[in-house]
Amino acid sequence: MSKTKKRVLILILFILFLSFFLIPIILPSINKAKILLMQTILGFFTLSVVLLLMKSMLPEKQSLLVVVGLIGCLVILARLLVYYAGGPVTWDELYYMYLSLFPKQESSLLNRYFHIYLQRFSFYSPTGIHSQGQGYTGLSAFLLQPDSHSTAPIH
Amino acid sequence: MPSKRESTKIIGGVFSLLVYFTFPYILDYPGITYSDYTSMLLCSIFIFLYIHALKNQKIIFILLGLLFFFSIKTKEMGLCLAVFLFDKKLYANPFKIKSVIRFALFFLSGIVIGILLLALNDHFLLNDFLFSFRISNWQTLFSFNLRQRELYDLIDLFGTLVRSGILYLLLFTIYIFDKLKKLGKFDPSLQFLWAYILVVFAFHLMTSVSGSLIIVIRYFVILAPALAILCAHIVSLVEDAIEKKTLLKLLLYLVVCFAVGSCLSFAASRLGWETDQFLERIFLPMLMLLSLFFFFHEKTWTRSMQAGLLGLMLLCLLPSKLIALHHRDIEHAFERRIHPLMENMDALAYTPQMELFISSNIYDSYEILGRDQESNIWMYALLFRQDVDPDQFSYDEFLYENFIKGAFTSAFLSNNDWDFLGEEQQDAIGKAYSIRETNEYVFLSVE
């Protein structure tokens, strides 16, 4: 990549990075969902530019590229999807969540315990369950998302 | 992606995400704590490691063992991941028994680490280090899972695959395999992704034959990453066609897709049909048939057309999924269920003396709160972060005579229950409790 292209990319990166934080200030009237959506799109463009720059500056660090791509995607998508997190819809899911919070020996669910323990982390995360009864499904969005991040860099 | 061009890899990655996000259940039910999603996460990390694995990487074998065990401990289908271990690419000397055994031991050590980690969790959280090892526990599990069901309950596998469009994606991967082989771009590891998909189906069939599982579309989300990867290979088949002015052609294509989508919405609204149903029942099957018709055509333009058709199908599906996500249907559905508890949090604060009565007519009439004693306890526990003694919760049909005898500190009655009472009975309750009436329920609490 030529020096000029690199400079242009750095400039684009700067503008994208700046706009990411400026959106809520420039557009105070739009709702949180739209701000998050715009920030996510900008976030993906920013990440793409970062990866392109990394690829040109550190051509031998392929693993680092994959790791940055994975973590970047995870953070960007998780931030958006935690906002859109739903909740349990059936008896089973409610029970899994209850067992995650208040673990009990339940032999009929013996082969589900990794899921139950993993879910437990979500209750103690900043986006996890809180006393208002909302957002306790927050981190389940994390459970859903990382695979999309692992799917992307595979290609 | 079998290509040296960067743009093909990037477009392929984006295409795979498009397949992934339009896959049934991915955006439709965000945030639901289905174990299938966790299972899918583990499977995709497993596949990710498998694809990036070099020959004889000890750490990869250990990690694969760990993930394999965690997958099984999330959902039985994790067993299907074992198929990847038969790929020669993981072993430098696949025909040397000693070498294979050596790496099998690394894999097993990963499993042992997983067993120990879970046993530690069992110890600290369940106060029983041996919980997962006890034969009696496994017997309980098998007696629960392997109980015989009626044939009527077994939803057909084939029908499920057709309705969800997964069968079409499978057929499409066969088409891609054929073309990749002809162009000399075929990577053998793709065969194992395909084998993995087949093993998952075989697993489902076996469980259906034994009558132990009902098959629903949700069980197939674990295939989403594998199918997304395979379908994205169509991009490497058409890279020559979009070699020049790639960005412009892509933009034009997106504009066409957008125009088709808008025309569909307009046509559906003119006909008085729901756009989603029109898409799923008429337009997408038409596109699928058209695509199947050109499966065996050898000309180069058919490859571009196939890629275009699949892209169009996915882009037509995406908006409705994003709209559902934006409307937060799932979150609102659960909030609606739990809102009586949320609206009366102050009066429901936990005390050891708390005795809560919930009339079964509330769920029967409005589908709010739990449908049994347990689910009400779980909702309360999740909302208040407080485990309760089951005896503190009564879930029953509301009968005035029984209710007045009980020593409840608070109660939820349905409007029907309340209206059915005589004025004297309402007054009697009013003397003992403070009353809060809403359109759906009546909340009583001791003052």
Q: A140: pLDDT confidence band, cut at 50, 70 and 90? A: very low
Q: What does the alpha-carbon distance between residue B445 and residue B409 come to, in Å, rounded to a whole number?
A: 6
Contact A147 B17 (CB under 8 A): no
Say if A68 is an interface residue toward chain B (CB within 8 Å). no
Q: What does the alpha-carbon distance between residue B180 and residue B164 come to, in Å, rounded to a whole number?
A: 26
Residue B37 pLDDT: 85
Average pLDDT of chain B is 86
pTM of the full structure: 0.84
Q: Output the six-digit token pair for A57.
A: 């500056």
Say if B328 is an interface residue toward chain A (CB within 8 Å). yes
Alpha-helical regions (H) of B210-328: 224-232, 234-237, 246-271, 275-278, 284-293, 300-327
**Chain A residues lying within 8 Å of B382, measured CB to CB:** 94, 97-98, 101, 129, 133, 136
Contact A105 B128 (CB under 8 A): yes
Q: B354: pLDDT confidence band, cut at 50, 70 and 90? A: very high
Q: Average pLDDT in the B2-15 region?
A: 80
Nearest to B33 among A108, A119, A134 (CB): A119
Say if B76 is an interface residue toward chain A (CB within 8 Å). yes
Instruction: Name the minimum distance, in Å, from the CA of B157 to any CA of chain A.
Output: 22
Does the pLDDT value for residue A137 go beyond 50?
no
Say if A19 is an interface residue toward chain B (CB within 8 Å). no
Contact A101 B382 (CB under 8 A): yes
Q: What is the ipTM of this complex?
A: 0.86
Q: For the segment A40-99, what is each residue's pLDDT rounded down to a tens digit?
A: 888 888 888 888 888 888 878 777 887 788 788 777 877 776 677 667 878 888 899 899
Nearest to A113 by CA among A125, A121, A105, A123: A105
Say if A76 is an interface residue toward chain B (CB within 8 Å). no
Residue A49 pLDDT: 84
Question: Which segment, A13-22, B112-121, B320-329, is predicted with the most confidence on average?
Answer: B112-121
Contact B44 A147 (CB under 8 A): yes
Q: For the segment A28-43, what is each residue's pLDDT rounded down to a tens digit?
A: 777 777 788 788 888 8
Q: What does the alpha-carbon distance between residue A152 and residue B13 come to, in Å, rounded to a whole number?
A: 5
Q: Average pLDDT in the B118-141 region?
A: 91
Does the pLDDT value for residue A155 go beyond 50?
no
Instruction: Name the minimum distance, in Å, from the CA of B331 to any CA of chain A.
Output: 4
Q: For the segment B45-104, what is each residue's pLDDT rounded down to a tens digit?
A: 898 888 877 766 788 899 999 999 999 999 888 999 999 988 888 777 777 888 888 888
**Using CB atoms and an 8 Å cut-off, which of residues 6-25 of chain B contact chain A?**
9-10, 12-13, 16-17, 20-21
Residue of A nearest to B10 (CA): A155
Q: Average pLDDT in the B336-359 region?
A: 91
Alpha-helical regions (H) of B127-156: 135-145
Does the pLDDT value for residue B426 go beyond 50?
yes
| Residue A144 and residue B325 in contact, taking contact as beta carbons nearer than 8 Å | no
Q: For the segment A47-58, what is each residue's pLDDT rounded down to a tens digit?
A: 888 888 888 888
Which string of b and e fits B278-307 if b means at least 16 CB within 10 Å?
A: bbbeebbeebbeebeeeeeeeeeebbbbbb
Q: What does the alpha-carbon distance between residue A31 and residue B362 come to, in Å, rounded to a whole number?
A: 35
Residue of A nearest to B236 (CA): A155
Contact B379 A112 (CB under 8 A): no
Q: Which residue has the tokens 């957002």?
A: A135
